[in-house]
Amino acid sequence: MASEREVRARLQRAGQEHLLRFCAELPPGPRAALLAELGALEPEALREHCRRAAAACAHPPGPPPDLAARLRPLPPECVGSASRCDPEMRRLWEEEGFRQISLNKVAVLLLAGGQGTRLGVTYPKGMYQVGLPSGKTLYQLQAERIRRVEQLAGQRHGTRCNVPWYIMTSEFTLGPTAKFFREHDFFHLDPSNVIMFEQHMLPAVTFDGKAMLEQKDKVAMAPDGNGGLYCALADHQILEDMERRGVEFVHVYCVDNILVRLADPVFIGFCVLRGADCGAKVVEKAYPEEPVGVVCQVDGVPQVVEYSEISPETAQLRGSDGSLLYGLGNICNHFFTRDFLRMVSSEFEPLLKPHVAVKKVPYVDEEGNPVKPIKPNGIKMEKFVFDVFRFAKSFVAFEVSREEEFSPLKNAASAARDNPATTRRALLRQHYHWALQAGACFLDAGGARLPELPSLPGNREPPAICEISPLVSYSGEGLEPYLQGREFRSPLILDENQASALQL
């Protein structure tokens, strides 16, 4: 371990010697931990990181002045749709996806390094229960969808197949996530097929370019964004592990979407049959000003443009069919070939531009007192997973229904949207619709039949509570043997045991 003198010299070169201002008063253990943490930081990289953070934060927000002239929608030949396609074509996409899964060529990769700060919890977001009747967490729902898609692919092709689950964590989420999975027996997945790894951490920086101390003996660190994936893949030899397993196609997604379809065979098949090396699921923007990134072209190459960078006039533009010209909303749900990920990790990662996130960062003041700020006081620099789209040789976008596939959990219950209530409602509304389509009828407490409401506004609770385990149905398929022509009182929780009883 480097000595205090060596660490101080390195910090002087970085212009960050203030990080040692409490070192002399620390007991031996905490002092050693601080020196070890600071000794791992490269002086030149630290100096440049802090300089870039302050400079980027000082840059005026808003769209670049020439962006509108460089912006174009994606060409129609690069866009597919799950709902507006020929049913036979959709069947072919799904069959190809299941075929690749049955050959053990598909993996899923979860981006789970972020903290649940906005949600108001101190543990990883995947461990959160949104209040489903079953009490399932996001992690459990996702694990069960993997098990179901493996089962479906195996049944179709007469094989036993595995979909490896790679989980990118951070310093904050690795320990709790690993412990949670062990306590729940990996949700009955093979532990050897659940691979956790850590992304990089970067110091939080003040507005004047100084790295921050969270405690007297600890630097305020933050994950380097979901775009830190590409460095982490190289650091932990994840691509080599994929190659050993025969994985060729990777479905990458964010932890917070309660409706995410892991290893979605329709999406996988669409991308494979199009010969894509990179793809993105998208949803139609709900309204022009919706705060969601837009998948489009800039200077002729695919890119996600943040909503804050698009002028109101450009956001309002519509095509000849009346739809928004820039209406493909990014939902952090991506397809990559392993070869593309290798190319990005080995060649293009240094070209990714960090983005500024101004946050409330706990710190210690000049007297060493801990402070929890009430307004943003620091800068976290993050890279975005989608910033690699421009390197693709064959990029495609695949539009899906928001009601079927996208309801993110981002905020605490007090927020107006993307909170536990809205995500719970989205899942229960989806399952209620699946049950109606399968022929189920619901009764009220007095035994009277409830009206069937196949179309519900987004903010309305379904008339009956129905939760269907992913182990019973992945996307609404195969429910007729259990539900058709039957009457149920709310709530209906259709798990494996209930399904077996109904089938007898």
The tens digit of pLDDT for each residue in 291-317 reads: 999 999 999 999 999 888 898 999 999
pLDDT at 494 over 90: yes
The tens digit of pLDDT for each residue in 203-212 reads: 999 999 999 9
The tens digit of pLDDT for each residue in 112-151 reads: 988 777 888 989 999 999 999 999 999 999 999 999 999 9
The tens digit of pLDDT for each residue in 255-291 reads: 999 999 999 999 999 999 999 999 999 999 999 999 9
Residue 375, Cβ density class (10 Å: 0-12 exposed, 13-18 middle, ≥19 buried): exposed
In sequence order, which residues have a C-beta less than 8 Å from that of residue 329 and are 6 or more positions away? 282, 283, 284, 285, 290, 292, 293, 294, 295
Higher local confidence (pLDDT), 65 or 396: 396
DSSP states along 109-160: EEE--S--TTTT-SS-GGG-B---TT--BHHHHHHHHHHHHHHHHHHHHT--
- Of 49-63, 84-98, 277-291, 433-447, give the lowest mean pLDDT range: 49-63
CA-nearest of 223, 215, 213, 206 to 379 is: 206
Do domains 67-404 and 422-503 share one topology? The answer is no
60 band by pLDDT with thresholds 50, 70 and 90:
low
CA terminus-to-terminus distance, the chain: 66
pLDDT at 427 over 70: yes
451 band by pLDDT with thresholds 50, 70 and 90:
confident
Instruction: Give the chain's mean pLDDT.
Output: 93
Q: What is the mean pLDDT of residues 360-380?
A: 93
pLDDT at 458: 67
Q: Is the separation of the CB atoms in 483 and 440 below 8 Å?
A: yes
pLDDT at 399: 97
59 band by pLDDT with thresholds 50, 70 and 90:
confident
pLDDT at 355: 87
Q: List C-alpha distances in Å: 150 to 88, 91, 128, 400.
A: 23, 18, 25, 22
Q: What is the mean pLDDT of residues 150-168?
A: 97
221 φ/ψ angles, rounded to the nearest 5 degrees? -110, 155
- Of 56-65, 213-222, 425-434, give the lowest mean pLDDT range: 56-65
Token representation of residue 74: 């994606």
471 band by pLDDT with thresholds 50, 70 and 90:
very high
In sequence order, which residues have a C-beta less than 8 Å from that of residue 350 and are 6 or more positions away? none
Q: What is the mean pLDDT of residues 57-72?
A: 78
Specify the pTM. Answer: 0.93
CA-nearest of 473, 464, 463 to 494 is: 473
pLDDT at 354 over 90: no
CA-nearest of 313, 286, 261, 294 to 430 is: 261
Question: ∠485-487-490 over CA atoms, to 5°?
Answer: 140
pLDDT at 3: 87
Higher local confidence (pLDDT), 45 or 397: 397
Residue 305, Cβ density class (10 Å: 0-12 exposed, 13-18 middle, ≥19 buried): buried
493 - beta bridge partners? 467
Q: What is the mean pLDDT of residues 227-251?
A: 97
pLDDT at 18 over 90: yes
Question: In the chain, what are the domain boundaries?
Answer: 4-58, 67-404, 422-503
Q: What is the mean pLDDT of residues 369-394?
A: 94
The alpha carbon torsion through 260, 266, 272, 277 (nearest 10 deg) reads -30
Q: What is the DSSP letter of 322?
A: S
pLDDT at 502 over 70: yes
Query: Which amino acid would we find at residue 220?
Result: A
pLDDT at 9 over 90: yes
pLDDT at 434 over 80: yes
Give the whole-angstrom CA distance, residue 503 versus residue 481: 6
In sequence order, which residues have a C-beta less than 8 Å from that of residue 4 and are 6 or more positions away? 20, 23, 31, 35
pLDDT at 1: 67
pLDDT at 130: 96
pLDDT at 61: 57
Q: Does domain 422-503 have CATH number 3.40.50.40?
A: no
Q: Is the separation of the CB atoms in 226 and 113 below 8 Å?
A: yes
> Hunting for tokens 């996702």 — which residue is that?
142
Q: What is the mean pLDDT of residues 311-332?
A: 93
In sequence order, which residues have a C-beta less than 8 Å from that of residue 320 and are 6 or more positions away? none
The alpha carbon torsion through 40, 44, 45, 49 (nearest 10 deg) reads 120
DSSP states along 36-48: HHHHTS-HHHHHH
The tens digit of pLDDT for each residue in 163-184 reads: 999 999 999 999 999 999 999 9
pLDDT at 62: 60
pLDDT at 63: 66
Q: What is the mean pLDDT of residues 60-75?
A: 82
Higher local confidence (pLDDT), 58 or 224: 224
Give the whole-angstrom CA distance, residue 408 versus residue 388: 23
Fold topology of 67-404: Spore Coat Polysaccharide Biosynthesis Protein SpsA; Chain A (3.90.550)
pLDDT at 459: 75
pLDDT at 194 over 90: yes
- The angle that helices 4-14 and 43-58 make with each other, rounded to 10 degrees, is 40
pLDDT at 504 over 60: no
Distance of CA 294 to the CA centre of its chain: 16
pLDDT at 334: 98
Token representation of residue 48: 């440049």
